[in-house]
A and B are shown apart, each in its own frame.
Chain A
Amino acid sequence: MNSTANILLNLALILILLTILVKNKFELFSFNGQNCNLDLMFQKTSKKSSSLMMSYCDSIRTNLHSYCVFSSPYVTLQPLQPTTIIIISYFALAGVDLFAFELKFTLNFDQTETVFTVYAKLRSNCDLTVLRGFVMVYLHFPTNLTEEEIVLQNKYAKLRKKKKALQALKAPRQEPEPIHPVKRPSEAKDAKEYAKKLIRSGAIRSIERRDDNKEKTTFKRSKGLERKLSGSDRALSGYQPFSASHPEDEPPPPPPAERDKEFRPGNKTLYDSFISARDKEERSSSRDVASDKPRQGNTVYVRGYGVTEQLLRRSFQKFGAIVNISMEIEKNCGFLTFDKMEAAERSIAAMSGTTVDGVQLQVSYARRQPKIEPINDASTSSAWSTIAASHSQKGLHNKDQRNVVTYDDAYF
Chain B
Amino acid sequence: MFVSDDRSAKRRRLSGDAVEIEDRLESLIIRVGERSTASLESNLEGLSSVLENDLVKAKDKIQRILVDCASKMPERSSVYSTLVGLLNAKNYNFGGEFAESLVRCLKDSLKICEWDKARNCLRFLSDLVNCHVVSASSLMAVYDNFLDAALEQGVPQVRTDWLVYAVLTCLPWVGRELFEKRETELDRLLATVSSYLDRRSKKHVPALRVWSGDDPHPQEEHLDCLWAQISKLRADNWQEKHILRPYLAFDSILSEALQHKLPEIKAPPHHASNVYPQPRVVFRMFDYTDCPENGPILPGSHSIERYLIEEHLHHILEVHHNDRKECSAQLLNFPHKTKIPLDYMIVEVIFSELFQMPAPRYLEINYGCILIELCKLQPSTIPQVLAQATEIMFDRIDTMNVSAFQRFVGWFSYHLSNFHFRWQWSDWADCLALDPEHPKPKFVRETFEKCLRLSYHQRIQEMAGQEFAALVPVETKPRLRYREEGAGSLPGTMIAHQLMSAIKERCSPEEAIRLLKELHNPLKTADDDAEPTHNPLKIEVFTETLLFVGSKSFSHAFAAIAKFHYVFKVLAETEEAQICVLRSLYNVWRDHPQMMCVLVDKMLKTQIVECSAVANWIFSREMNADFLKSYVWEILNLTIRKMSQHVHKLTVEAAEARARLHHDSGDDSDSDDDRRDRPSDEQVERMEERLEQAQSDQKTLFLIIFQRFIMILSEHLVRSDTDGKDFRTHWWKWTFGRLQQIFMQHNEQVHKYSQTLETLLFTQDLDPHVLDAFHQFLALRD
Task: Give residues in A with beta carbon < 8 Å to B.
Answer: 65, 183, 186-187, 189-190, 232-233, 235-236, 238-247, 249-250, 253-254, 259-260, 262-263, 265-267, 269-271, 273-274, 276-278, 280-281, 370-376, 378-389, 393, 396-398, 400-402, 405, 407, 409, 411-412
Q: In the bound complex, how far is the Cα of B420 from the Cα of A236, in angstroms? A: 27
Partner of B384, one of A183, A240, A246, A382: A382
Identify which of A254, A274, A402 gathers the most chain B CB atoms within 10 Å of its CB.
A274
17 contacts between A and B (CB under 8 A): A186-B16, A186-B24, A187-B24, A263-B38, A265-B45, A270-B38, A270-B47, A277-B34, A277-B37, A370-B379, A371-B380, A373-B380, A378-B391, A380-B423, A381-B383, A383-B424, A388-B375
Q: A263-B42, A411-B504, A412-B550 are in contact. Are A274 and B23 (CB under 8 A)?
A: no
Q: Which residues from chain B contact A262 at a C-beta distance below 8 Å? A: 37-38, 42
Q: Which residue of B lies closest to A406 (CB)?
A: B552
Pick out which of these stretches binds chain A: B93-101, B307-315, B557-565, B740-748: B557-565
- A263 touching B333 by the CB < 8 A rule? no
- A384 touching B386 by the CB < 8 A rule? yes
Other contacts beyond A247-B338, A388-B375: 17, CB < 8 A:
A187-B24, A190-B24, A240-B378, A263-B46, A265-B46, A266-B50, A267-B46, A274-B43, A370-B379, A375-B384, A376-B292, A378-B384, A380-B423, A380-B424, A388-B379, A388-B382, A393-B418
- B550 touching A411 by the CB < 8 A rule? yes
Q: Which residues from chain A contact B422 at a C-beta distance below 8 Å? A: 380, 383-384, 387
Q: Which residue of B lies closest to A379 (CB)?
A: B424
Task: Give residues in B with beta carbon < 8 Å to A.
Answer: 3, 8, 11-12, 16, 19-20, 23-24, 28, 31-32, 34-39, 42-43, 45-47, 49-50, 290, 292, 295-296, 329-333, 337-338, 342-343, 375-388, 390-391, 418-420, 422-424, 427, 456, 458-459, 462, 503-504, 506, 549-550, 552-553, 556, 559-560, 562-563
Q: Which residue of A lies closest to B427 (CB)?
A: A379
- A372 touching B379 by the CB < 8 A rule? yes
Q: Which residues from chain B contact A371 at a C-beta distance below 8 Å? A: 380
Partner of A380, one of B47, B296, B387, B459: B387
Identify which of B31, B376, B422 gathers the most chain A CB atoms within 10 Å of its CB.
B376
Distance between A269 CB and nearest chain B CB, rounded to angstroms: 7
Q: In the bound complex, how far is the Cα of B574 from the Cα of A213, in angstroms? A: 88
Q: In the bound complex, how far is the Cα of B32 from the Cα of A397, in angstroms? A: 48
- A274 touching B36 by the CB < 8 A rule? yes
Q: Which residues from chain A contact B562 at a C-beta distance below 8 Å? A: 412
Q: Which residue of A lies closest to B459 (CB)?
A: A398
- A270 touching B420 by the CB < 8 A rule? no
Q: A270-B47, A380-B423 are in contact. Are A385 and B379 (CB under 8 A)?
A: yes
Q: Which residues from chain B contact A240 at a C-beta distance below 8 Å? A: 377-378
Q: In the bound complex, how far is the Cα of B390 from the Cα of A380, in angstroms? A: 10
Distance between A272 CB and nearest chain B CB, rounded to angstroms: 9
Q: A277-B36, A370-B379 are in contact. Are A381 and B456 (CB under 8 A)?
A: no
Partner of A378, one of B12, B390, B563: B390
Q: In the bound complex, how far is the Cα of B338 from the Cα of A249, in angstroms? A: 7
Q: A65-B12, A277-B34 are in contact. Are A267 and B28 (CB under 8 A)?
A: yes
Q: Which residues from chain A contact B504 at a C-beta distance below 8 Å? A: 409, 411
Q: Which residue of B lies closest to A265 (CB)?
A: B49
Distance between A249 CB and nearest chain B CB, rounded to angstroms: 6
- A384 touching B383 by the CB < 8 A rule? yes
- A374 touching B384 by the CB < 8 A rule? yes
Distance between A346 CB and nearest chain B CB, rounded to angstroms: 24
Distance between B47 CB and nearest chain A CB, rounded to angstroms: 6
Q: Which residue of B lies closest to A276 (CB)?
A: B37
- B380 touching A235 by the CB < 8 A rule? no
Identify which of A253, A376, A407, A412 gathers the most chain B CB atoms within 10 Å of its CB.
A412
Q: A249-B338, A397-B420 are in contact. Are A274 and B31 (CB under 8 A)?
A: yes
Identify which of B50, B343, B553 gathers the most chain A CB atoms within 10 Å of its CB.
B50
